[in-house]
Amino acid sequence: MTTSTVAYLLTQELKHSEIEVKGWVRTFRANRFIALNDGSCLENIQCVVDFESMNEVVLKRITTGAAVHIKGGLVDSQGKGQSVEVQVSSIEILGDADPEEVSKTILQPKRHSLEFLREQAHLRTRTNTFSAVMRLRSSLSFAIHSYFNKNGFYYMHAPIVTGSDAEGAGEMFRVTTLDAKNPPLDENGAVDYSKDFFGKETNLTVSGQLEAETYAMALGKVYTFGPTFRAENSNTSRHLAEFWMIEPEVAFMDLVGNMDLAEDFMKYIISYVLEHNKEDLAFLEQRLEQEDKSKPQNERAPMPLTEKLRFIVENNFKRVSYTEAIEILRSSKPNKKKKFKYIIDKWGADLQSEHERFLVEQHFKCPVILFDYPAKIKAFYMRLNEDGKTVRAMDILFPGIGEIVGGSQREERLDVLREKMAELDIPEEDLWWYLDLRKYGTAVHSGFGLGFERLVMFATGMGNIRDVIPYPRTPLNADF
């Protein structure tokens, strides 16, 4: 007999058949009722023990957290809440859980703060909240690969160790095998990286974009989906030092095509979880509603979770130039009454989350794509417009979160790219291979980046990015 999952047993017409199921005990009541969960779904299945005929030694070992193997008959449930239950014929304890030790952990059946759950990240997926979040994370990952596969993209693995800084930000983690206490020095007294493992200074990647561009200019349509790293000392609810990025790049596609692709992509992956993760979304929506009751009105979610997701799927994204958005914000009530933390007074300002959310939630009441940003606040590789002051950049703004996608048409003109690199003191020798793309059959091409954890936050309603990745890496925190 094959072992069934709890999810399977709760959805199949298998009544009065003999089954086997393995999982972890959530609760054991009245020496009779085991609530069993195996992670396959949110719900537990009730397993009813005949304690009078059960070995007393085994009974004592059925404790919260214990792993068990149960055999029995699947029958109509006598209680409320589920249609079936298991009448236990035999139970094997696969792994004990000492009640005294369990009482010190998040496995004890009661509500715990998210902060406490982070301290026991190795156990937190046993809770309803985190099992739901991580199932959604898995579904979103699958939907991303599914979308690109269906649309003719090739999956590319960009390098994790790199000698280039795609963003020009300089906030990178160094990779070295040199002796930290006694590194080799050059004639000027500086660390001599020519003696290092790679013969040069290298870092963990901040983006796979530049490498993806090289592949797009050979394979046409590619995407990367991998870990990226930022050595940014930001202890906020929206920043991680290690996170995952999705970065498609497409040859012969301009900014309009890029916006079309990004909108279609976002609608597809959100539609996927709306269809395949209904139970988890319903649970997380209820959790969010309970959480919001203790918050001031202005800090509550703008709409229920599933409604927010449908809002993305059912609305066309409004496309607005940066210049138009600045005028809207300058003349808005929150700006005039100085309700914004960052007042908008002139063209060229870098928009903050509060501005982005105002445009989405209050002004346009739909997802927004902003485009044609000032060149001075965007990266060197973005295509310069004919006005000489804006670039073909675009950001997608969502309710409750602001910017979720950032992309651009890339600068395909060799002379212009060289000028921009010179202005920013980016050495040509570091990116000679990137410049080569503009020498051998250059063409219009575009792409965008989506921080995966920001997407998971949006889809789950979780308020802290540390709660949507298995083991968060933040300043002073590399536990587990």
Q: How confident is the model at residue 59 (pLDDT cuts 50, 70, 90)?
A: very high
pLDDT of 44 above 70: yes
* Mode of pairing for the β-strands spanning 318-321 and 368-374: parallel
Structural domains in the chain, CATH included, are: 3-103 (2.40.50.140), 128-171+206-467 (3.30.930.10)
Give the three-class secondary structure for 197: coil
Is residue 196 left, alpha or beta, with left meaning phi > 0 and alpha meaning psi from -120 to 50?
beta
Residue 254: predicted pLDDT? 98
For 183-226, write each residue's pLDDT tens digit.
999 999 999 999 999 999 999 999 999 999 999 999 999 999 99
For 346-364, write each residue's pLDDT tens digit.
999 999 999 999 999 999 9
- 73 forms beta bridges with 18, 87
For 158-172, write each residue's pLDDT tens digit.
999 998 766 655 689
> Who contacts 252 (Cβ-Cβ below 8 Å, separation ≥6)?
220, 443, 444, 445
Give the length of the chain: 480
Give the three-class secondary structure for 345: coil
User: What DSSP character marks residue 54?
Assistant: S
User: What DSSP character marks residue 429?
Assistant: G
CB 141 within 8 A of CB 135: no
Residue 388: predicted pLDDT? 94
Average pLDDT over residues 476-480: 92
User: What DSSP character marks residue 351?
Assistant: P
Q: Of 73, 68, 81, nearest to 48 (Cα)?
A: 73
Residue 167: predicted pLDDT? 60
Is residue 228 left, alpha or beta, with left meaning phi > 0 and alpha meaning psi from -120 to 50?
beta
Q: Taking the CA of residue 462 as centre, how many other CA atoms within 13 Å lie in the half-sphere pointing to its CB?
A: 26
pLDDT of 478 above 90: yes
For 395-445, write each residue's pLDDT tens digit.
999 988 889 999 999 999 999 999 999 999 999 998 999 999 999 999 999
* Mode of pairing for the β-strands spanning 390-398 and 202-204: unpaired
> Who contacts 286 (Cβ-Cβ below 8 Å, separation ≥6)?
none
